[in-house]
């Protein structure tokens, strides 16, 4: 089967966009082009960032490669993991290839071999183009997605064979550039590849963590999935179908056997770090109507007899969570994508929940903040299904007001599951950063293990609607079951990118924290220099809204973006203090850029070597720059009392 990828490797002309206009002196990190490591009689080896697919039959010319870096390169904060694809195209088949890792050294400090892992990236067969509510999947043939963590690998001759290399940087790892080699051996073959891991002087902590909500996995039948998402999935809608309730004849008392169910919750909480679980059993309403048979009682939701039975159920379940030691580890996922006609019922259900189970957060999953919801004081989380809607200009101000009132914002983006779309797996990585840009704190994934009794390695379709000719490859799952009973579960490029994105989310939270501290020191009262505006400034260089079709940045830009974030985080607390923003936030069609800065009185500023005058009290500067096609880089040097530091801003113009 011949692959027909829509996204091809960047042409030489397009790669010129990575050459910055202006005089900024911050070199590009490796990764903006595939890095050629070896090219000899045995074949070629190169690295590609995992935000883009590498198809088996793709051909590369010398102009496509970075020929100078000549090493595997990864960079990150202490407490973070980072990945890169290592691609082998051998002249002959290679069997049982094995990797051996050694200590990487940075002066007297070392990064030991236990921090590295390798996986093979394999393909799934996509027989035809797909469409899922406007998301067109145009890649057909063999498309890379499954990821299996192994100790040895077979490589096919004259095609691209992709391995995924991961480094886990310990939380206490000293900053520095760690150098060494990875040794590879196979029958009649042995070679070493140079590697550098740059550890920034930044430490990621466990919190704040993006809330990741999974619906679907069952610990009894798919326990291997939980190991793959340990430390990432924080909430789960778990096992409610296995919990049977019995009502007394007068429907005033509820009994059930919850021993097995709560045992499963305790295992997920203690062994896999899942923090919170959706209150069972089934949802009380959906996109068209309310549940007509609550707890199999024959009583419709929000009709006569419902409220009393519902409150009895809540009291009964609260006691069970107390007995299980999980009182503060439950949330109420009441309805799914409910319409305006159900908003009043939802508000009444939320009120009952707060009376009988006050410790339990209540989540509303709907596309609009209806008046009945706005009037309620009993809703803690609004989960918005952004796969169907585009952001509007006034959304952000509305969300900010809701956040000020204490409402938590989550998003529901099932459309990101798609395997055979040109914007994946990049979109899975960018999504958490887009959430950070809008001050959202959670994401919900529906049916992450809905395999429908089939082997998705061979039949990778998920949700389907044959009558409307709508179907989606990858929907309903981000993991792959083992092909043998004794095998391990496999991950996916999509899931691995999402995991990396949740760490980028944390990096943005560190930026936000440092920015706010500088704001306080500079006594900032101007929203133009706020931390929220700063996050919008950064993430607007990646995407213009929630929907994946607007994630316009090139997938190979991610290393540069993270480098700029790290530089900013490191520089923010250093003297002299300065906060630099610009407008417009989206510069793709702009002709000029308005840079503006807030700094300590008495500071001096240059932008790309040009001295800039201060305004008013001497704490504000502005700088107008004409933009050129491609990347435009600005080096801002701030000096005061014999100290100086550099701040970088970079924007793209079509």
What pLDDT, on a 0 to 100 scale, did the predictor assign at position 408? Answer: 97
Structural domains present in the chain: 30-203 (2.60.40.10), 211-504 (3.20.20.80), 517-653 (2.60.40.10)
Give residue 228's pLDDT band: very low, low, confident or very high (50, 70, 90): confident
Of 134-138, 186-190, 543-547, 553-557, the range with the highest mean pLDDT is: 553-557
CB atoms within 10 A of CB 103: 12
> How crowded is the C-beta side of 202, counted as CA atoms within 13 Å?
29
Better pLDDT: 5 or 425? 425
pLDDT in tens, 575-589: 999 999 999 988 999
Q: What is the mean pLDDT of residues 6-35?
A: 63
pLDDT in tens, 481-505: 887 766 788 999 999 999 999 999 9
Average pLDDT estimate for 346-355 = 98
Give me the residue label for tokens 């490859």. 473
Rounded to an integer, the average pLDDT of 615-643 is: 94
CA 630 vs. chain centroid, Å, equals 26
**3 pLDDT above the threshold of 70:** no
Window from 343-347, 409-413, 511-515 with minimum mean pLDDT = 409-413
| pLDDT at 450 (0 to 100) | 60
- The mean pLDDT of 336-352, rounded to a whole number, is 97
Mean of the per-residue pLDDT values for the chain? 90
pLDDT given for residue 114 in this prediction: 97
- Contacts of residue 588, Cβ cutoff 8 Å, sequence gap at least 6: 552, 652, 653, 654
Give 224's pLDDT tier (boundaries 50, 70, 90). confident
Exposed / middle / buried, residue 204 (Cβ in 10 Å: 0-12, 13-18, 19+): buried
Mean pLDDT of 619-644: 95
Average pLDDT on 43-64 reads: 96
The C-alpha atoms of residue 201 and residue 197 are separated, in whole angstroms, by: 13
Q: Which helix (H) or strand (E) holds 403?
A: helix 395-404
Range with top average pLDDT, 157-171, 410-424, 451-465, 613-627: 157-171
Give me the mean pLDDT over the 90-113 stretch: 97
What is the pLDDT at residue 222? Answer: 59
pLDDT at 307 over 70: yes
Q: How many residues does the chain have?
A: 654
- pLDDT confidence band for 415 (50 / 70 / 90): confident
Residue closest to 548 by CA, chosen among 507, 501, 581: 501
Residue 15: band (very low, low, confident or very high) from pLDDT cuts 50, 70, 90? very low
Q: What is the model's pLDDT at position 95?
A: 95
Summarize pLDDT for 154-176 with one digit per residue, the tens.
999 999 999 999 999 999 999 99
Ranges 6-20, 387-401, 410-424, 511-525: which has the least confidence: 6-20
Q: What is the pLDDT of residue 258?
A: 84
Higher pLDDT, 618 or 14: 618
pLDDT at 130: 85
Q: What pLDDT does residue 549 have? A: 83
SS3 at position 610: strand
Give residue for tokens 């992709």.
162
pLDDT at 4: 39
Instruction: Enter the DSSP assignment of 267.
Output: H
Read off the pLDDT band of 1 (50, 70, 90). Answer: very low
Query: What pLDDT, on a 0 to 100 scale, did the predictor assign at position 12?
Result: 38
Which one, of 517, 508, 502, lies nearest residue 438 by Cα?
508
Query: Do residues 124 and 459 touch, judged by C-beta distance below 8 A?
Result: no
Whether the CB-CB separation of 18 and 64 falls below 8 Å is answered with no
Query: What does residue 259 show for φ and ψ, rounded to 5 degrees?
Result: -60, -50
Question: Are 164 and 50 within 8 A, CB to CB?
Answer: yes
**Is the separation of the CB atoms in 109 and 174 below 8 Å?**
yes
pLDDT of residue 535: 96
pLDDT band at 464 (very low <50, low <70, confident <90, very high): low
Please give the Cα distance from 356 to 316 (Å, whole number).
9
Taking a C-beta distance cutoff of 8 angstroms, is the pair 191, 38 a contact?
yes
Secondary structure element (H or E) that encloses residue 423, with its range: none
Q: Are 332 and 362 in contact (CB under 8 A)?
A: yes
Using CA atoms, how far residue 39 sits from 54, 113, 640, in Å, is: 18, 26, 50
Share of the chain above pLDDT 90, in %: 72
State how far the Cα of 337 lies from the Cα of 314, in Å rounded to an integer.
Answer: 22
What pLDDT sits at residue 393? 76
What would the 3-class secondary structure string for 114-177 be?
A: HHEEEEEEEEEEECCCEEECCEEECCEEEEEEEEEECCEEEECCCCCEEEEEEEECCCCCCCEE
Among the ranges 6-10, 201-205, 261-265, 416-420, which has the highest mean pLDDT value? 201-205
In the predicted model, is pLDDT for residue 24 greater than 70? no
Question: Which of 501, 393, 383 lies closest to 444, judged by CA?
Answer: 383
pLDDT of the residue at 451: 62
Where does residue 18 fall: left (phi above 0), alpha (psi -120 to 50 degrees), or beta otherwise? Answer: alpha
Instruction: Give the model confidence (pLDDT) of 105-133 as tens digits.
Output: 999 999 999 999 999 999 999 998 888 76
């Amino acid at each position: 089967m011949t692959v027909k990828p829509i996204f091809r490797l960047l042409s030489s002309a397009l790669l010129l966009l990575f050459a910055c206009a202006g005089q900024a002196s911050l070199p590009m990190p490796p990764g903006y082009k595939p890095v050629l490591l070896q090219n000899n009689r045995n074949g070629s080896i190169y690295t590609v960032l995992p935000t883009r697919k590498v198809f088996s039959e793709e051909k590369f010319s010398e102009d496509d490669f970075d020929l100078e870096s000549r090493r595997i390169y990864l960079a990150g904060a202490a407490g973070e993991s980072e990945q890169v694809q290592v691609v082998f195209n051998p002249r002959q088949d290679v069997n049982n290839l094995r990797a051996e890792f050694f200590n990487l050294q940075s002066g007297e400090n070392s990064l030991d071999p236990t921090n590295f892992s390798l996986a093979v990236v394999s393909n799934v067969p996509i027989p035809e183009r797909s469409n899922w509510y406007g998301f067109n999947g145009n890649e057909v043939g063999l498309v890379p997605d499954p990821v299996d963590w192994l100790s040895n690998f077979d490589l096919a001759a004259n095609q691209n064979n992709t391995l995924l290399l991961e480094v886990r940087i310990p939380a206490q790892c000293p900053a520095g550039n760690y150098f060494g080699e990875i040794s590879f051996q196979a029958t009649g073959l042995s070679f070493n590849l140079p590697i550098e891991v740059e550890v920034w002087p930044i430490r990621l902590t466990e919190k704040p963590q993006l809330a990741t909500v999974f619906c679907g996995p069952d610990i009894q039948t798919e326990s291997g999935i939980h190991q793959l998402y340990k430390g990432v999935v924080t909430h789960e809608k778990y096992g409610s179908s296995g919990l049977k309730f019995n009502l007394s004849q007068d429907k005033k008392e509820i009994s059930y056997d919850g021993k097995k169910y709560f045992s499963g919750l305790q295992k997920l909480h203690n062994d896999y770090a899942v923090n919170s679980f959706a209150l069972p059993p089934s949802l009380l309403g959906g996109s068209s109507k309310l549940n007509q048979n609550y707890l199999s009682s024959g009583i419709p939701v929000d009709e006569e007899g419902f409220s009393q039975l519902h409150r009895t159920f809540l009291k009964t379940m609260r006691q069970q969570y107390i007995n299980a030691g999980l009182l503060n580890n439950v949330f109420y996922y009441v309805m799914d994508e409910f319409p305006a006609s159900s908003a009043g019922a939802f508000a009444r259900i939320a009120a009952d929940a707060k009376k009988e189970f006050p410790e339990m957060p209540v989540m509303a999953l709907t596309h609009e903040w209806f008046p009945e919801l706005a009037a309620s004081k009993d809703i803690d989380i609004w989960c918005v299904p952004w796969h169907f809607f585009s952001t509007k200009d006034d959304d952000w101000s509305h969300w900010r007001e809701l956040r000020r009132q204490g409402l938590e914002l989550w998003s529901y983006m099932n459309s990101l599951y798609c395997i055979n779309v040109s914007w994946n797996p990049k979109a899975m990585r960018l999504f958490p950063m887009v959430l950070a840009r809008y001050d959202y704190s959670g994401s919900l994934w529906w049916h992450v293990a809905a395999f429908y009794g089939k082997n998705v390695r061979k039949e990778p379709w998920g949700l389907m609607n044959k009558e409307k000719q709508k179907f989606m490859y990858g929907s309903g799952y981000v993991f792959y079951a083992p092909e043998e009973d004794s095998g391990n579960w496999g991950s996916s490029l999509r899931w691995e990118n999402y995991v990396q994105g949740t760490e980028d989310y944390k990096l943005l939270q560190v930026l936000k924290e440092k920015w706010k501290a500088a704001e306080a020191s500079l006594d900032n009262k101007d929203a133009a220099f706020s931390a929220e505006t700063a996050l919008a400034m950064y993430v607007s260089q990646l995407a213009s809204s929630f929907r994946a079709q607007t994630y316009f940045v090139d997938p190979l830009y991610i290393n540069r973006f993270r480098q700029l974030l790290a530089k900013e985080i490191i520089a923010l607390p250093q003297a002299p203090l300065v906060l630099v923003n610009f407008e417009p936030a989206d510069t793709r069609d702009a002709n000029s850029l308005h840079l503006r800065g807030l700094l300590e009185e008495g500071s001096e500023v240059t932008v790309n070597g040009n001295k800039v005058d201060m305004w008013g009290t001497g704490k504000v500067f502005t700088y107008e720059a004409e933009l050129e096609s491609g990347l435009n880089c600005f080096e801002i040097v701030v000096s005061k009392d014999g100290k100086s530091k550099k701040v970088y801003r970079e924007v793209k113009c079509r």
